[in-house]
């Protein structure tokens, strides 16, 4: 994966919501894009932080203590162990940076959960 890529173009071309795709590797992390709409699931990643960057649209990240709203170009790190629920009221394109071992929805499994193999 040592090529020039367009995260926005790749995310826009995705056909399934909440189904991240790996577009690059960075040390022990994956760089992923996703097209999202609606809600994912309340979950946490016990040992990994998760970086969200909004490429296009608006993403709300609900947490027990607070909710943040990200717009085009905004970034936010959900710290390890924090339960969160990403929500997009309208179609949104996001970029994620996560350690390679990070499970899509942590220990929570739903019909939207994707394995790491499905994301590659």
Average pLDDT, the chain: 94
Domain ranges for the chain, please list them: 7-102
Beta pairing partners, 80: none
pLDDT of residue 11: 98
Predicted model pTM: 0.91
Could you read off the pLDDT of 51-105 as tens digits, one per residue?
999 999 999 999 999 999 999 999 999 999 999 999 999 999 999 999 998 888 8
Secondary element (H or E) of residue 10: helix 7-13
User: Residue 110 pLDDT more than 70?
Assistant: yes
CB 22 within 8 A of CB 31: yes
What CATH number does the domain located at 7-102 have? 2.60.120.10
Q: Calculate the CA 113 to chain-centre distance.
A: 12
Pick from 100, 58, 66: nearest CA to 84: 66
Read off the pLDDT band of 21 (50, 70, 90): very high
Give the number of other Cβ atoms within 10 Å of residue 87's Cβ. Answer: 18
User: Residue 2 pLDDT more than 80?
Assistant: no
pLDDT of residue 113: 82
């Amino acid at each position: 994966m040592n090529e020039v890529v367009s995260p926005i173009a790749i995310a826009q071309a995705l056909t399934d919501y909440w189904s991240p795709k790996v577009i690059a590797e960075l040390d022990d992390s994956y760089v992923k894009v996703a097209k999202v709409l609606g809600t994912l699931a309340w979950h946490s990643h016990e040992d990994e932080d998760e970086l969200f960057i909004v490429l296009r649209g608006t993403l709300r990240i609900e947490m027990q203590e607070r909710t943040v709203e990200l717009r085009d170009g905004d970034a936010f790190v959900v710290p390890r162990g924090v339960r969160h629920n990403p929500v997009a009221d309208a179609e949104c394109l996001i970029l994620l940076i996560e350690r390679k071992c990070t499970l899509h929805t942590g220990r929570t499994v739903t019909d939207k959960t994707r394995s790491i193999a499905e994301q590659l």
